[in-house]
Chain A
Amino acid sequence: MSSFFWPFQKKRIGLAFSDRLVLAICNGGPLQIAMRELPVGLIAPSSVTPNIRSVAELAQLAEDALGELEARREGVVVLLPDRSIVTALYTSRRGASEKELKVEMGAKLAFPSTEARFDFWRGRGGAVLGAAVREAVAEQYEQVVEATDSRLGWVDSTSLARIPAWARPSGGSGLDVQLQLYENHYCLSVFVEGSLVDLRIKLRPAGILDGVQREVTRLPALHGVALGAITVLGEGAAALAAALEEIPDVGRVHVEDDGEERLLASALKALLERPRP
């Protein structure tokens, strides 16, 4: 509604953290991207233990990246590493209350549920995507953002940021598979007619794609639906797409955003373009 009265898009900043880099983007004009490589071990993503070895050092690198962007640091959207959060997918939970879901998800956490922040996203067909982060873990990233004189806006997980946008009927038949590849892990999300039916975030040895390929191959048998469109994004996307095209009866295979940096930038951009709640 605000864009109707004020058609000019305000510049906003997004900041994504991974174990390899910190990446900042600014939209609301030509997309600006700034990135800093991280020393090994500065961020060690974990849902249980503190992730950041030195908040001050990471804040300095984030400040360097943000310094290249020309925008006010208000409502900065932040993407946490996937492995810093715990996710769960509940299919057919249309009537479940948030309280019930919290109890259920909290029982499976490796830390006390009282120390967790939960949120649930309700998709089509009664699917509920749950995410939890330990307060101590999230607070470290928030301290980094605050140390750069930025005001925190939306906080999400890297691979979950685009799921609401993907959960729309594509018009095609079969499983709609989205693969987000990072250097050390991948996220596989599967949709049927816009309904999220599968979500997996798994570790993978750097550069090895066999496990991912096998996972995709098993999906039709698991869900009883043939493969439809497959979109591969991120680190080694082109190589995996070439391997997937060799699977018999596979649908269309798209490659987008080859490289982890572009994957993070696209996730941030999607988050920045999402209408504010």
Chain B
Amino acid sequence: MNAGIYLGPRKNVWRRARALLLAFAAIPTLFHGVERYVRRQEVATLRGELATMEEELSRTLSSTALSESRAVMWQLRAISESGVAGAIPVTELLKLLERTLPDGVALMGVSIDPIPPRASLTIEARAARAADVTELQKNVASSPRVAVTQLLEERRAPDGLLTIRLRVDLIGGRP
């Protein structure tokens, strides 16, 4: 038994069913589209951030690090020529540093402590990534002239680069 007489506009059942089907079909497509848009936005943002970081890094490394590295090499040469570290063959020291410095690590300074019983080096360097620091430590430790390595300091500078100080004890007391 129906509720009473209804003389209003007829509801078109087929049209309503079709609208419902279309809505069901459209909802996943809509969600997929929104999800894709959000992901693309994220990728675009990340890409932008990465480009900025790369630009900053290359500017920092190219403008300061290379000139500093060059200065350190001059210091090393000066030290070796002055005879302070006369016991260390200069070529060997240069080879050690050259071999152990991975790409992305800029040498900032080297200090030599030739006092017995064990001569040591303290390397100051800057790197963009923590993985480069680890690489540096591994390289140094694998040298036959190195007894012990010790990371004295690791901090991130305001420009985003890591600054480290690494102490390297050499084998053979007076090298």
Give chain A's interface residues, CB within 8 Å of chain B: 78, 80, 85, 117, 119-123, 129, 131, 133, 138, 142, 152-157, 160-161, 163-164, 271, 274-277
Dominant secondary structure of chain A at its interface with chain B: strand
- B5 and A121: CB pair below 8 A? yes
Contacts of A121 on B, CB cut-off 8 Å? Answer: 1-2, 4-5
Asked if A154 and B8 make an inter-chain contact with CB atoms under 8 angstroms apart, the answer reads: yes
Contact B7 A277 (CB under 8 A): no
Cβ-neighbour of B7 out of A85, A122, A163, A276 (below 8 A): A85
List, sorted by A's number, 29 A–B pairs whose CB atoms are closer than 8 Å: A85-B7, A117-B8, A117-B9, A117-B10, A119-B2, A119-B5, A119-B7, A120-B2, A120-B5, A123-B1, A129-B5, A131-B5, A131-B7, A133-B7, A138-B7, A142-B8, A142-B9, A152-B9, A154-B4, A154-B8, A155-B6, A155-B7, A156-B5, A157-B5, A157-B7, A161-B4, A163-B4, A274-B3, A275-B3
Q: How far is the CB of A171 from chain B (nearest CB, A)?
A: 20
Query: What residue of chain B has the Cβ atom nearest to residue A156's Cβ?
Result: B5
> What is the CA–CA distance of A78 and B5 in the complex, to the nearest angstrom?
12
**A12 shortest CB reach to chain B, Å:** 15
Residues of A within 8 A of B6 (CB): 119, 154-156
Most buried by A among B1, B5, B6, B10: B5
What is the minimal beta-carbon distance from B91 to any residue of chain A, in angstroms? 90
Q: How far is the CA of A277 from the CA of B3 in the complex (A)?
A: 6
Determine the residue in chain A with the shortest Cβ distance to B1. Answer: A122
In the complex, the 3 A-B pairs of residues with the closest C-beta atoms, listed nearest first: A155-B8, A277-B3, A131-B5
Could you say which of A78, A117, A161, A274 has the most chain B C-beta atoms within 10 Å of its C-beta?
A117
Q: Contact: B2 with A277, CB < 8 Å?
A: yes
A220 CA to B35 CA in the complex, in Å? Answer: 75
Q: Decide if A274 touches B7 in the complex (CB within 8 Å).
A: no
B interface list, Cβ under 8 A from A: 1-10
Within the complex, the shortest CB–CB distance from B97 to chain A, in Å, comes to: 79
Nearest chain A CB to B144 CB, angstrom units: 83
Q: How far is the CA of A171 from the CA of B90 in the complex (A)?
A: 123
- Distance A78 CA – B4 CA, assembled complex (angstroms): 13
Which residue of chain B is the closest to A167 with respect to CB atoms? Answer: B1
Q: How far is the CA of A4 from the CA of B46 in the complex (A)?
A: 53
Query: Of A80, A152, A156, which one neighbours B4 at CB under 8 angstroms?
Result: A156
Can you name the residue of chain B whose Cβ is closest to the Cβ of A165?
B4
Contacts of B10 in A (CB 8 A): 117
Please name the residue on chain A nearest to B4 by beta carbon: A164
Closest Cβ of chain B to A139, distance in Å, is: 8
Chain B residues whose CB sits within 8 angstroms of the CB of A80 once the complex forms: 7
Chain A residues with Cβ below 8 Å from B8 are 78, 117, 138, 142, 152-155
- Report Cα–Cα, A161/B6, bound state, in Å: 9
- B1: which A residues are within 8 A, CB to CB? 121-123
Separation of A163 and B1 alpha carbons in the complex (Å) = 13
Q: Known contacts A152-B8, A271-B4; can you find 16 more A-B pairs with CB under 8 A? A: A117-B7, A117-B9, A117-B10, A119-B2, A119-B5, A119-B6, A120-B5, A121-B1, A121-B4, A122-B1, A122-B2, A131-B7, A142-B9, A154-B6, A156-B4, A156-B6
- Interfacial chain B residues near A131, Cβ < 8 Å: 5, 7
Q: How far is the CA of A277 from the CA of B4 in the complex (A)?
A: 9
